[in-house]
Structure 1
Amino acid sequence: MDYDTLVIGAGAAGMMCAAHAGGRVLLVDHAKAPGEKIRISGGGRCNFTNMYCDANAFISENPHFAKSALARYTQWDFIALVDQHGIPWHEKTLGQLFCDTSAKDIIAMLRGLLQSSGVETHLQTEVTEFAKSDEGFTFTLNGTRHCTARNAVIATGGKSIPKMGATGFAYDIARQFGHRVTPTDPALVPFTFPDRRFADISGVACPARVTANGPGFDEALLFTHRGLSGPAILQASSYWDAGDPITVHLAPDTDLAAILRDKRTSDGKKALTTELSRHLPARLIDHLSTQMDLSGRLGDLSDARIDALTHDLSHWHLTPGGTEGYRTAEVTRGGVATDQISSKTMESQTTPGLFFIGEALDVTGWLGGYNFQWAWSSAIATARHLSAQN
């Protein structure tokens, strides 16, 4: 065999796996440079993991699938690797860890690991004629060079951010070998509204709890010309299905009902909108005034009206027309079904020697470093298995 292992995809999972697999490894990618999604992630500083990462932060047809890999290569293991290479980092919020300087530090670390492991890397290279053989796999590079490998690792990700080269290659390979692919959708993505109803308050942000067919996320909400964005929206989008409503709870950490009752007595002449603007952006209150009755003074509020008003502000139901799509989605929800994949090694249970890792699988993490941790953990699960063979 020409190689012990072929790894297709030089992103986070592919580089991590190739660097640790051992033996003769070929890493191939059609991009000009490795780790392009790493480079642009986290505003250029790469949110490389999360201190609170566990399997509950992942969406999958099988919610237990990710547990084994995440437990055997944890966020602390990757942090130790980052520390070992002298990369300075900091926690931003909610356990999200970022490079102090640049995401390029993570790419440089991975490239260094590839080099020290003797991995042969071919960029701007297409893999075609990929097929199973008696001893492993056969494939062609750029239509001219015919090669063989005992094992093949598919680490080409999902469909998100096609301008970075994302394709459905992993799904095509999975189907070629009889694997099912679950429905795929853009995830961690802004919502759009066809009427552009929030254009008048574009740029306004506020704390909110946003829910869409799943847990509620307490983070910032951002109004845009096209719809809704911000961390709380991106999180909820991973659970959203087309046509479903979302629920927005404005000022979730503030007991507005208690405040309004207190102010009704102590400051009764103040306008309701003036008091609400102390807890929510004034431009948002102006916008809401066109949809809710926010008229009058605090002293005129009855208990029933206070209850109705605060209920409306904590149960604001909206139905997005869609999302910004794969163009801006940070990840893809869905992917290669896990029912015929080993949770310990990521190996196909029907085609020995074929592995799927990272975003290609039906495992989608929350915003905040979880998807990178899944890339590291699934890659190491496969690499350790391959290394033991070599």
Structure 2
Amino acid sequence: MSDASYDTLILGAGAAGLMCAAHAGGQALVIDHAKAPGEKIRISGGGRCNFTNMYTAPENFLGGNPHFHKSALSRYTQWDFIALMDSHGISWHEKTLGQLFCDGSARQVVAMLMQEARTAGAEVALQTRLVDLDKNDNGFAAVIETEGRQNRVHARSVVVATGGKSIPAMGASGMAYDIARQFGHDTTDTRAALVPLTFPDGRFKPLAGVSLPVRSGAGGVSFDEAMLFTHRGLSGPAILQISSYWREGEAITLDLLPGQDAFTVLREARQSAGRRNLSTVLAQLLPSRLAAWMTEELDLRGNLADQGDAALRELAARLQHWQLTPAGTEGYRTAEVTLGGVETGALSSKTMESRHVGGLYFIGEAVDVTGWLGGYNFQWAWSSGAAAGRAISAARRGGP
């Protein structure tokens, strides 16, 4: 077994890990079990990578400590990452709600980060896994394995950037939490987030493929975005957003006519076209398949003229305050991120360094910081990675 020494060992060649390597400088080794770096970057945004959000702000993030993420986000902002993209000549565009995507391919972002990391002096070892990690007087001693060959690595600092449990088909695991607990850190409960919600008995199977703008609500928050019916339940941005706030056994609320007053719309239609039947009116307000399904579901009969104000108010309430109780979520298999993670009370919000073990850092999705859908989680990866990398660089140079 051979020995090698580095300033920094970074576990994970994803968004946070590569960003950390780019800022850490010195002799850094980045390892990852995957065949290629930045795989989640590559598949994100339909292959175009929703790399940040123009409106990134602290309130776009969840976590046990609502203030922890503020420091890192303020010191490496969305504008800093946009400037980095521009410096590499990568063109981009705003899609909606401040979400920024590459004009070309997400592979450009991966290539940019790899170039930045290597320019800073980092070495990237792929198809390499961590076998063992210990702390000693000189830093850390790790055993890593590549194609069946094990090697011992000595490093002054270790950065855990292995992510969470989302998308296990890509190799996601709870390694970060195991390492955290090994070194005396607590972890919060984790759950799939930014994930479709499921319903029993194929309730919405006849509506699979139907989409419409809605206002979705759960856990005291609401989002105005698109919703999609699926064979298993509900998806689309509006549902993924509230999945981070929903808990088992609770109901979600849907407004199918956001920005409108359904009762006023129905009453005015009764005055102008009272001879129309209810199903026809619904088809003017909702996608035709959804209108037909709701007509049957609510057993709507008769013409508008036959409906009194009480009946119209009841129908309006069903359209704008539709309460549904999901059976669950699709789980980590399709979740974009993991909610929860390494508890932040024992981490420095400025440097991401452990308060228990000097030289040990946790960044990115591994930490109990989760962003909304729309580029926020990548921004957390950039910001937390830069925070740790800068701190490591300063420590190596003897700075503050």
TM-score w.r.t. the length of structure 2 is: 0.96
Q: Can you give the 5+ residue segments of structure 1 that lack an aligned partner in the other structure?
A: none
1:149 is aligned, of 147, 155, 168, to 155
1:52 is aligned, of 44, 47, 55, to 55
1:305 is aligned, of 311, 317, 321, to 311
Q: Can you give the 5+ residue segments of structure 2 that lack an aligned partner in the other structure?
A: none
The one-letter code of the counterpart of 1:39 is R
Q: Which residue of 2 aligns with 1:388?
A: 394
In the alignment, is residue 267 of structure 1 matched against residue 270 of structure 2?
Answer: no
Secondary structure in 1 matching 2:156: strand
In the alignment, is residue 63 of structure 1 matched against residue 48 of structure 2?
Answer: no
**CA distance in 1 between partners of 2:194 and 2:53 (Å):** 16
2:199 is aligned, of 193, 196, 208, to 193
**CA distance in 1 between partners of 2:191 and 2:132 (Å):** 28
What's the CA shift for 1:293? 4.0
1:371 is aligned, of 372, 377, 382, to 377
Q: Which residue of 2 aligns with 1:322?
A: 328
Q: How does 1:1-390 map to 2 (within 5 A)?
A: 2-142=5-145, 144-390=150-396
Asked whether the 8 Å contact 2:208–2:230 carries over to 1, the reply is yes
Secondary structure in 2 matching 1:86: coil
What's the CA shift for 1:285? 1.5
The one-letter code of the counterpart of 2:97 is L
What's the CA shift for 1:255? 2.2
**CA distance in 2 between partners of 1:380 and 1:200 (Å):** 47
**CA distance in 2 between partners of 1:337 and 1:89 (Å):** 35
Q: Deviations over 1:83-130 (max 9, x none)?
A: 111101000010000000110010010111122112111111111220
What's the CA shift for 1:54? 0.6
**CA distance in 1 between partners of 2:359 and 2:121 (Å):** 21
Secondary structure in 2 matching 1:39: helix
Give the alignment's Cα RMSD to 1 decimal: 1.1
**CA distance in 2 between partners of 1:77 and 1:49 (Å):** 11
**CA distance in 1 between partners of 2:41 and 2:300 (Å):** 46
The one-letter code of the counterpart of 2:386 is I
Secondary structure in 2 matching 1:183: coil
The one-letter code of the counterpart of 2:139 is G
Identity of counterpart residues, as a percentage?
61
The one-letter code of the counterpart of 2:112 is M
Q: Deviations over 1:312-363 (max 9, x none)?
A: 2111111111111111100000100001011110000011100000000001
The one-letter code of the counterpart of 2:116 is L
What's the CA shift for 1:301? 2.2
What's the CA shift for 1:296? 1.8
**CA distance in 1 between partners of 2:251 and 2:201 (Å):** 16
* Runs ≥4 residues deviating over 3 A: none
What's the CA shift for 1:290? 2.8
Q: Deviations over 1:236-267 (max 9, x none)?
A: 11111122211111111222211111121111
**CA distance in 1 between partners of 2:292 and 2:339 (Å):** 36
What's the CA shift for 1:215? 1.0
**CA distance in 1 between partners of 2:144 and 2:274 (Å):** 76
Asked whether the 8 Å contact 2:205–2:231 carries over to 1, the reply is yes
**CA distance in 2 between partners of 1:9 and 1:203 (Å):** 36
**CA distance in 1 between partners of 2:177 and 2:106 (Å):** 28
What's the CA shift for 1:159? 0.3
**CA distance in 2 between partners of 1:118 and 1:23 (Å):** 6
Q: Would you say how many aligned residue pairs link Structure 1 and Structure 2?
A: 390
Asked whether the 8 Å contact 2:262–2:320 carries over to 1, the reply is no
**CA distance in 2 between partners of 1:279 and 1:192 (Å):** 25
**CA distance in 1 between partners of 2:247 and 2:23 (Å):** 38
What's the CA shift for 1:194? 2.3
What's the CA shift for 1:147? 1.4
The one-letter code of the counterpart of 2:220 is G
Secondary structure in 1 matching 2:201: coil
